């Protein structure tokens, strides 16, 4: 039991913070209720997918600065293809967008592996490339989302307090993550992030594993772009603030920059915490500029606490 | 022996060559391995041993030559392929993934769990939990786990690279026995080690590399050591440099460094010792008896929880390694990577302690620096073929850089922590000579070693630490391996009552 607590201490702590924040929200805004929960969940959705995308490459020991741009490409592609589309076309669009996401990610990964240019440089360059691609597809906000598909992330699911958008998020992440975590591929992703030389010597194909990790990042980014189009109803070619938000959530979620540690649950809880903090700061009418300062401070403090805990652990 | 010779070789490498730019690392390496045979692969520093190993295990591709497994030509392009053909290496640094637990590591390598458990207990580790994260385990355990993992996948050829370095003596025995037993069952083993005693104990023959080529293939018989060393060096090895006697020590006056009742946490409990000028004081201990803490406390890396350190009759306390260095105490860590800037040049690494002197703020005299650095390189005979980054030097040469940098800076008290771990005879000998020379110039040297056999060659006296306490002080002349071993295991009167 104590082992479980020790191993998942960080995630449990995040969970406790999230609960406290909900309580705090209810105190300062007594009429925060089911609609508030629903809109929070829906607003968090693209952030959550961006975070999942970032988490997977950070676990693999890399980083992807082009996450928000890939989301924009996926979002505008969906908006253009879905404009006036029927059921068949809509389903085709969903599949196509996900495949495009995988492709974009794989291109990022392949460039890193083949050129041996550092990931941070490659993905910074690709940030601009994907941004340009998005603008080529759609010059200004436009397109549309198929109405019945939009319904998937609006309203409650089965019970009134469970937002559909949340269920959608959990299902999408679980479908990819759970089989992955249990497979040799998933372990390989952790392995290359943890110690590349040891992984190589253990017989893991480093390059291929890295490309797959980036491809999965692209897949999650595509899901994020798709849900963004679904929730706004049109495509937006200029990338949103998802890059920095996803890095913040990944770090807060217990994934160590540098790789090998962490999982998906922590960052997803973290992304809700960060969204809720932002919402609460708005509710108590703090200047929005101060809000970003608070978010930055949280990030630094979190990394610091992580370091202190690691040092304690080593001393024992 | 004759029916062994009749058998087809399991692995046969001939005429293997490899060059890196202008540097020829190998030009004619050969190795033959029959089923049931343990072959020691030997070679001095820079002989091309690690390159050869990397080629055999698929981590590097050869330029020319042939490698046949059961008579079939192979050319591995990755360690994964080598594994598939039944060649499984156990490297000097464990190749387990630090952030995963043991169970995940086994799944990653598709290692069957039950045989793994069997081998772990066979090798003498009783209370293993598969859900322990790798980076929470001590190095010695990791090496055993790595070996158990290799054995569990039933290799045809097992390659052990300095397997017994960093292992406590009881585990070494277990490992040697297990490996020999496996060979007797028909497995073939390539055994890389610098310890002649182990090679004599388990190996069938020795393949010797020198300057990138195989120069000999000798059956292991009593007395073969001299021959092997000759082949490795190209010259015969003379023994035992001068040693300081107790009388000379008394003549040198009071102790330069006095350690009194030093304690650090629970590991180091009560250590007192005197280090004289011109003396090399050996420290011998089994793994984890507090020697790491002793050296770190003297180097100013951790603060003692009790006792005191006195230098030239003045009590000192260190808040930072710079304080220790300012008092003339310089620490050369056992892990070479901890002490070197791996991506910088040999020159810069040697010059760094010169630069780091606070009083030398401002412009650096490049000319004076260059001459001192070149002087140090010449004295250490550092192989300057790979003159660029330190990380491209062989292990032995890296170790020489770690010591050389302090010589260039001028050394007062040198704290050497296992300086000869995993390096070859020739370099070892150069290090002994260097240490003796420093002592002759009046430096004090505290010398921890995990290899008992080198104590008489390098030290004047030796203190033995067991369970955080000094249990014995022995004159080097009387410090044969057996005496030291008994003391290190706490088999002396003092320790039994403690």
Map residue A1 onto helix, strand or coil. coil
Judge: B83–A261 Cβ closer than 8 Å, yes or no: no
B476: pLDDT strictly greater than 90: no
The nearest CA of chain A is from the CA of B107 a distance in Å of: 7
Taking CB atoms and an 8 Å limit, are B59 and A193 in contact across chains? no
* B497 lies within 8 A of chain A by CB: no
Q: How many angstroms separate the CA of residue B421 from the nearest CA in chain A?
A: 21
The pLDDT value recorded for residue A70 is: 97
Task: Tell me how close the Cα of B109 comes to any Cα of chain A, in angstroms.
Answer: 6
Half-sphere exposure of A76 (CA within 13 A, CB side): 23
Is the minimum CB–CB distance between B473 and chain A shorter than 8 Å? no
Least confident piece of the model among B295-309, B390-404, B480-494: B480-494
- What's the Cα-to-Cα distance from A82 to each of A45, A75, B40, B52, rounded to whole Å? 20, 11, 69, 60
- Cβ(B257)–Cβ(B139) under 8 Å? no
- Nearest by CB to residue B108, choosing from A184, A193, A260, is A184
Rounded CA-CA distance B227/A63 in Å is 54
Q: What is the mean pLDDT of chain B?
A: 81
Whole-number pLDDT of residue A180:
93
Distant-in-sequence, close-in-space partners of B244: CB < 8 Å, separation ≥ 6: B278, B279, B280, B439, B460
Per-run averaged pLDDT (10 residues), chain A, 316 residues: 73 93 92 88 95 96 96 96 91 97 97 94 96 95 91 87 93 94 92 91 91 97 96 92 90 86 93 92 87 83 75 58
Cα diameter, chain B: 72
Question: Are β-strands B87-90 and B157-161 bridged in parallel, bridged antiparallel, or unpaired?
Answer: parallel
Q: Is B109 on the interface with A (CB under 8 A)?
A: yes
Mutate to test the interface with A, among B97, B100, B301 (most CBs of A within 10 A): B97
Mention the CATH class of domain A2-315.
Answer: mainly alpha
The 10 Å Cβ neighbour count of residue B477 is: 12
DSSP E strands, chain A: 156-157, 159-163
Look up the pTM and report it. Answer: 0.73
pLDDT at B221: 86
- Return the residue of B nearest to A313 by Cα: B136
A187/B100 CB distance under 8 A:
yes
DSSP codes of every residue in B326-367: HTTEEEE-SSHHHHS-TTSBHHHHHHHHHHT-GGG-S---HH
Q: Between B79, B107, B131, which is nearest A201 by CB? A: B79
- The answer to whether A251 touches A303, Cβ cutoff 8 Å, is yes
Looking at residue B476, the DSSP 8-state letter turns out to be G
Give the chain A residue nearest B266 (alpha carbons).
A316
* Sequence-ordered list of residues with C-beta below 8 angstroms from that of B72, at least 6 positions apart, any chain: none
Q: According to the model, what pLDDT value does residue B237 have?
A: 42
Interface test with A, best of B56, B92, B98, B100 (most A CBs within 10 A): B100
Question: In this complex, is the C-beta atom of B169 within 8 Å of any C-beta atom belonging to chain A?
Answer: no
Judge whether residue B246 has pLDDT over 90: no
Which residue carries 């001299």 as its tokens? B226
Taking the C-alpha atoms of residue B292 and residue B13, their distance in angstroms, rounded to an integer, is 42
Is B105 part of the contact surface with chain A (CB cutoff 8 Å)?
yes
Q: In terms of C-beta density within 10 A (0-12 exposed, 13-18 middle, 19 or more buried), how is residue B317 classed?
A: exposed
Select the more confidently predicted residue: A176 or B407: A176
**How confident is the model at residue A73, as a pLDDT?**
97
SS3 at position B129: coil
Report phi then psi at A191, rounded to 5.
-65, -45
Whether A3 contacts chain B with CB within 8 A: yes
Distance CA A245, CA A240 (A): 10
Six-digit token pair at B101? Answer: 């637990």
Look-up: residue for tokens 């963004």? A228
* Residue B93 sits at the chain A interface (C-beta within 8 Å): yes
- DSSP letter (8 states) at residue A163: E
Contact A202 B97 (CB under 8 A): yes
**Domain spans, chain A:** 2-315
At A81, list the tokens. Answer: 């293809």
pLDDT tens profile B258-315? 999 999 887 788 899 999 988 899 998 877 788 888 999 998 888 898 898 998 888 8
- pLDDT tens for B204-235 read 999 998 888 898 888 988 877 778 877 876 65
pLDDT number for residue B1: 44
Tokens of A60: 């693999």
What CA–CA distances, in Å, run from B75 to A241, B9, B88? Answer: 50, 17, 15
């Amino acid at each position: 039991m104590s082992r479980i607590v020790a191993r998942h201490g960080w995630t449990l702590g995040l969970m406790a913070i999230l609960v406290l924040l909900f309580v705090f929200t209810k105190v300062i805004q007594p009429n925060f209720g089911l609609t508030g929960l629903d809109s929070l969940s829906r607003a968090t959705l693209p952030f959550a997918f961006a975070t999942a995308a970032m988490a997977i490459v950070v676990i693999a020991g890399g980083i992807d600065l082009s996450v928000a741009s890939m989301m924009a490409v996926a979002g505008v592609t969906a908006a253009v293809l879905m404009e006036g589309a029927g059921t068949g076309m809509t389903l085709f669009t969903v599949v196509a967008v996900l495949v495009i996401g995988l492709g974009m990610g794989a291109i990022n990964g392949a460039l890193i592996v083949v050129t041996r240019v550092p990931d941070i440089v490659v993905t910074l360059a690709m940030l601009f490339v994907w941004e340009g691609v998005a603008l080529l597809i759609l010059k200004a906000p436009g397109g549309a989302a198929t109405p019945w598909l939009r319904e998937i992330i609006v309203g409650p699911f089965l019970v009134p307090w469970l937002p559909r958008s949340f269920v959608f998020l959990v299902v999408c992440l679980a479908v990819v993550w759970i089989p992955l975590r249990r497979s040799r591929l998933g372990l390989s992703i952790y392995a290359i992030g943890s110690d590349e030389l040891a992984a190589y010597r253990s017989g893991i194909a480093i390059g291929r594993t890295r490309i797959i990790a980036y491809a999965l990042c692209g897949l999650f980014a595509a899901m994020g772009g798709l849900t963004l189009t679904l929730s706004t109803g049109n495509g937006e070619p200029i990338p949103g603030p998802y890059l920095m938000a996803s890095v913040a959530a990944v770090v807060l979620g217990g994934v160590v920059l540098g790789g090998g540690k962490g999982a998906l649950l922590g960052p997803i809880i973290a992304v809700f915490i960060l969204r809720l903090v932002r919402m609460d700061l708005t509710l108590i009418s703090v200047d929005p500029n101060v809000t970003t300062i608070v978010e930055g401070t949280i990030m630094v403090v979190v990394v610091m606490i992580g370091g202190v805990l690691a040092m304690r652990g080593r001393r024992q | 022996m004759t029916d062994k010779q009749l058998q087809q070789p399991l692995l046969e490498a001939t005429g293997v060559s490899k060059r890196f730019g202008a540097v020829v690392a190998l030009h004619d390496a050969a190795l033959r391995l029959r089923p049931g045979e343990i072959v020691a692969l030997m070679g001095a520093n820079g002989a091309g041993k690690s390159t050869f190993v990397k080629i055999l295990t698929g981590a590097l591709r050869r330029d020319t030559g042939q490698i046949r497994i059961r008579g079939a030509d192979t050319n591995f392009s990755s360690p994964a392929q080598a594994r598939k053909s039944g060649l499984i290496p156990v490297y000097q640094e464990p190749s387990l993934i630090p952030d995963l637990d043991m169970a995940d590591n086994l799944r990653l390598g598709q290692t069957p769990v039950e045989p793994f458990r069997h081998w772990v207990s066979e090798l003498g580790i009783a209370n293993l939990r598969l859900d322990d994260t790798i980076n929470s385990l001590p190095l010695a355990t990791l090496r055993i786990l790595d070996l158990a993992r290799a054995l569990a996948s039933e290799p045809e050829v097992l390659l052990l690279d300095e397997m017994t370095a960093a292992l406590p003596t009881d585990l070494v025995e277990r490992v040697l026995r297990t490996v020999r037993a496996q060979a007797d069952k028909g497995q073939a083993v390539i055994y890389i080690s610098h310890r002649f005693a182990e090679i004599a104990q388990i190996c069938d023959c020795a393949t010797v590399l020198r300057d990138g080529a195989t120069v000999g293939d000798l059956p292991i018989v009593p007395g073969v050591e001299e021959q092997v060393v000759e082949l490795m060096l190209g010259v015969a090895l003379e023994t035992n440099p001068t040693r300081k006697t107790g009388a000379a020590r008394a003549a040198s006056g009071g102790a330069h460094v006095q350690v009194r009742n030093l304690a650090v946490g629970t590991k180091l409990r009560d250590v007192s010792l005197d280090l004289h000028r011109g003396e090399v004081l050996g420290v011998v201990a089994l793994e984890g008896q507090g020697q790491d803490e002793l050296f770190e406390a003297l180097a100013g890396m951790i603060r003692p929880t009790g006792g005191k350190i006195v230098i030239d009759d003045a009590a000192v306390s260190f808040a930072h390694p710079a304080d220790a260095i300012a008092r003339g105490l310089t620490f050369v860590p056992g892990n070479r990577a901890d002490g070197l800037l791996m991506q910088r040049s040999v020159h810069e690494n040697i010059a760094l302690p010169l630069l780091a002197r606070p009083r030398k703020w401002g412009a650096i005299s490049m000319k004076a620096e260059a001459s001192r650095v070149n002087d140090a390189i010449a004295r250490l005979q550092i192989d300057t073929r790979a003159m660029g980054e330190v990380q491209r030097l062989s292990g032995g040469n890296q170790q020489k850089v770690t010591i050389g940098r302090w010589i260039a800076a001028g050394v007062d008290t040198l704290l050497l922590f296992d300086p000869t771990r995993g390096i070859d005879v020739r370099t070892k000998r150069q290090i002994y000579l260097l240490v003796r020379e420093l002592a002759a110039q009046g430096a004090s040297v505290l010398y921890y070693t995990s290899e008992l056999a080198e104590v008489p060659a390098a030290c004047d006296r030796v203190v033995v630490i067991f369970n955080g306490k000094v249990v014995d002080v022995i004159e080097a002349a009387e410090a044969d391996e057996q005496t030291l071993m008994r003391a290190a295991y706490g088999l002396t009167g003092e320790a039994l009552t403690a």
